[in-house]
Every structure is written in structure tokens, then in C-alpha cells.
Amino acid sequence: MENEKSNDVLHIVMFPFFAFGHISPFVQLANKLSSHGVRVSFFTASGNASRVKSMLNSAPTTHIVPLTLPQVEGLPPGAESTAELTPLTAELLKVALDQMQPQIKSLLSHFKPHFVLFDFAQEWLPKMAEELGIKTLFYSVFVALSTAFLTCPARVPQPKNYPTLEDMKKPPPGFPQTFVTSVKTFEARDFLYIFKSFHGGPTVYDRVLSGLEGCSAILAKTCSQMEGPYIEYVKSQFNKPVFLAGPVVPNPPSGKLEERWATWLNKFEAGTVIYCSFGSETFLNDNQIKELALGLEQTGLPFFLVLNFPANVDVPAELKRALPEGFLERVKDKGIIHSGWVQQQHILAHSSVGCYVCHSGFSSVIEALVNDCQVVMLPQKGDQFLNAKLVSRDMKAGVEVNRRDEDGYFVKEDIKEAVEMVMVEVDKQPGKLIRENQKKWKEFLLNKDIQCKFIEDLVNEMTAMAKVSSN
């Protein structure tokens, strides 16, 4: 392995947090950058290395650097990503990360990259990298709206004087005038998580703010076409360069859709099937499952529902308890209920799938838009609430399920109404406008010249910054 900077080839280290919701956007960007000649060293826990390898393009300029996690009391041996942990024990991964500083410093001293792209939990990295003469980019895998609304300095004008629930319902001072003027009570309550300290460590807010204030430049996975006002607000809050990676549209999947799913989907007309999934680490409670299932059934449309559960639970027993009585028998001809991994991109690309009901993770939304699927959003936590507002209010390219203000409760009629708006009432407003906008955004996202230019501009900006620092 080379350990000297080459002035000809840009060399970056990528270092995401140990959660695949963070690792995946880093991998997608690594693949785009490597195709533009950038050398990538990808840092991840050794237990995640094989999965990361399967996601990375096999470019000769890209390699994985496995990291050794220290033993942390309460962290199960071998658990090296949030996928294997409960939300509470996952907090211990941040403790492990903090203890890895000597290991990271040694590796960076050896590699001497031009840049380290780091995540929200490594707020100590900018200072370490600066001592080694290495530039840092805080790569935010969240939309700019999320940074603007939640983690900018204006949100906490006095250090440690954290906001109240009522404060979190409103944007921070100076926030741009857009369609996002407030959030619901249950969403604001969820946002308060970022101001909690676990195991005596810094809060998420303090980590993010330190990282954003300490880095050489901020890198956002977005573009001005989608989030112009929020990007400008972030620039004004941090007064430093903000590079844009664009929406980082994933490449079409390789291989074929599993035959059993292809055979089932082939039975239905184009654009009529609802695909519904909330990712591998989001688990609905029994009541949510019941109302969701009944809502899908009441649309009268065929549906493919993926329900996942925490590790080590009896999935058939969970499904039997959570699903409405007689449901499986009633929907057997036009409903599939599955638990576990599926080829999501392949399913969304199938001609019979016309709607995606999801938790509004932004990568999932992009996958839906490029595959000509209407987006119905039922966000579950954190940035997902803001993603849903960006897509439904600013981009007007999807619909958010209506929910009760206090606790986020929804009923089957809310699901049915949201789906029908974009799948049945296609000639009425607002469904008609949403479908038109979905087409516009699809064209934008699939325009190779536009998307390629985002990455080219980013490489040029990084190269210019690297040259300035080496002079």
C-alpha cells in the first residue's frame, strides 16, 4: 500500500459510522468517485468488510481497510454494526469509535490521503487530521433540510441550553421561508433524541456541530435543484465551503429478480402493484402493522408487503399476532407478506410496480422516483420526517400519510387515502400534480450528463482544495 500523496491521483479515506444506513451512501459515493479516477480507502469494522466489499465496485484504486473494534462493556462480541444491536446497545458503537482514535491516527499517518470523508460520530477527526496535514469533509448522508432544521448553530444559541419540545416544532431563527414551517408534536419529540447523552458521551447534536464546525468543508448528498434555500442557509450558518455530491443516484442493479417474485408480479397490469417496505432496521408495532395491512387491503390493489422484526424473534408467531384475523386468507390471491431481505431495486424496477410505501429514507425515495413509482411516505424516526416534508411539500413528488399530531397514530383510512391519491385519483388534484412532478424528477435523476457533472464538479473542487493545501 502506498503511503505517500500523489499529486496526480486524488486519494481519499472514507470513514462512515457503523450503520448500513450510513455505510450505503458512502459506498454509493465511493463508486461514483472511483469511476472518476479517485483512489478510495474505505474504513469499516472488520465484521462489515465482506458486505461492504459486495457493494463496492471492484476498481483497482479502491480497497477496504478493516478496523478492529475495542472491547466495550455491554457491546456483544462480534456486533460491529447497528443491524445486530438494539437502539440502546447501538449507542455503545459510539463509545467504541471514540476509543479507536489511536488506531485511526496510525492508519491516517500511514496512508496520508488528501481527504478524509467522515461521519457524524467522529467529531474528533478534524483536529487529528489537521495535525497530520490532511483535509476533512463532513459527509452528511442526510438532506440539507435536516442539517438546516436540526443541527445548525442557530438551533442552540447558548451552549448546552438545549431546546424544548415546543422549540423543536418550529424552525430555528433565520430559517428560509419555504413550505416547511413546522413539524408535528410526535416528530418534535423524536428530534429531542439528538440532545440526549448516552454513556457520558457527547450528544448527537454536539458531535454533529463539532464535526461541521471543525471540518475543512461540508459535503452534502443533495443538489440546489432540490434544496437550494436549505443549502444556502447551511452555508450562512457555518461560513465555509459546502460541496454538493448531487443525489448520488444508485446504478441499476445487476442480475435478475428472483423467479418466485417475478412470476407473482408478472400476473398484474403495469403500474398497479403497491410495494411496501420500511428497511431492515425499522420495526412497526402491532397496531401499525394491523392498520397498514388493512389500509393496503382496502385499496383493492395488489400489494407486496415486507415486514421485518428484531433479531431472535419468532417471525411466524409475530406475524400471526400482528396481522388482522383472517387477513392472509382474504388477500392470498393479490397480497404477499414477506419477512427478510428482498431485491428491492429489482422489485421497484418491475413494470407492474407503481407505488412504493416506505419510511422515506432518502435513498429509498430516489430509488422509487427513478423507477417510475409513486411515493407514499410513512416516516418512522429522525431525518425521515424531514425527508417526507421535502418530497411532499417542496418537491411535490410524493404524498405523506396523515397522522395524529400527538403520537403519530394512523388508521387504515389514512393509508388508503394516501395511496389512492396517487394511484386511483390520477386525474384529480393533488394526485395529478404529484404524478407530473414525479415524472419531472425522474427525468432529472436519470439525466446522466447532469448527474455526472455533480461528481465531476466535486472532484474538481476537492482537487483544487488539495492543491492549495500542498502549496
- Given the residues 11, 98, 119, 350, select the one marked as catalytic: 119
DSSP 375-440: EEE---STHHHHHHHIIIIIS--EEEPP--TTT----HHHHHHHHHHHHT-TTSTTHHHHHHHHHH
Omega of the bond leading into 250 within 30 degrees of 0 (cis): no
Q: Strand pairing partners for 39?
A: 11
> Is residue 437 within 8 Å of 415, Cβ to Cβ?
no
- C-alpha–C-alpha distance, residues 315 and 259, integer Å: 23
- 119 in catalytic set: yes
From the list 117, 74, 109, 65, the residue with the least C-alpha distance to 94 is 74
Report H helices in 67-140: 87-90, 92-99, 101-111, 125-131
From the list 277, 282, 268, the residue with the least C-alpha distance to 310 is 282
- C-alpha–C-alpha distance, residues 272 and 281, integer Å: 27
**The three grid cell numbers given for residue 279, joined into one nine-digit string:** 428497511
Residues 6 or more apart in contact with residue 203 via CB below 8 angstroms: 162, 194, 195, 196, 197
Residues 6 or more apart in contact with residue 30 via CB below 8 angstroms: 14, 40, 42, 56, 57, 62
- Given the residues 22, 114, 346, 350, select the one marked as catalytic: 22
Burial 100-128 (b: 16+ CB within 10 A, else e): beeebbebbeebbbbbbbbbbbbbbbbeb
Residues 6 or more apart in contact with residue 385 via CB below 8 angstroms: 183, 187, 190, 191, 360, 379
Residues 6 or more apart in contact with residue 460 via CB below 8 angstroms: none
- 22 in catalytic set: yes
User: Max alpha carbon distance in the chain (Å)?
Assistant: 72
| Secondary element (H or E) of residue 120 | none
The dihedral sign for the CA sequence 268, 270, 274, 276: positive
- Catalytic residue numbers read 22, 119
